[in-house]
Amino acid sequence: MIVYYVFVGVTRYYIRGLAGFFDVFWLCQMSCLLAGVGALLHQPKVITFTFGLISAPHGLWVLDLFLYFIIGRFPLGMSSYLIWDTTHRLELLTTTHHIWFVPLCFTILYKNGRPTLSMIPYHMLGGFFLLIISGSLLPLSYDGHYLNVNIAHRCWPDIPAWLPSFNPPEWPWMAHVLYVAIAGGLLNAFLYLFIWGAYQIYEPIQKPSKKQE
């Protein structure tokens, strides 16, 4: 996952220069780095924290792509960039983590550390601070390229009109941050519960061995 993260940075810089390199700060990209570090250091909580942060974005991305093949359009606007004329083929290759990242984390954690419900507040706080940092340090656009990393400045323009209607453009920036953090955090928590439930079903509970007398 760490190698993949580096590959994303190199290819995006090759395609669009520094504007492309900003893509490595998207949460879905950084999740590969964080989970990779967690795996190397044998820290399952780091992996659990990471995929808890991106449960909703990845889940909606996959759902949007699936619906495209069914109805011929992207109703959620999450993965519509896949068919943009400006999307390079290398970018298509380096967006596959939306599909394999959560299953890979699930596999790594199997019998090595189970998700816990106590992580949900940390997911919400992590998302909030990520939005603050992204909106404060990363530009909305650079060198003519629209960035809006982690939708920290405003809602993504391809998202259907019904969603931004709850988050008008004239809202103060902090109101936007709170809106995205709360809405995203609740959706992440909802999907994280499914992952947590899967572990309760499929992973055998390790019982402590009795000491021999």
Domain ranges of the chain: 2-201
Residue 85: pLDDT band (50, 70, 90) is confident
61 and 98 Cβ atoms separated by less than 8 Å: yes
Please report the pLDDT score of residue 170 as a whole number: 67
pLDDT at 123 over 90: no
Average pLDDT over residues 156-166: 57
Please count the other Cβ atoms lying within 10 Å of the Cβ belonging to residue 22. 23
pLDDT at 163 over 70: no
- The Cα 88–Cα 82 span in angstroms is 9
Average pLDDT over residues 107-113: 76
Q: How many CA atoms lie within 13 A of 212 on its CB side?
A: 0
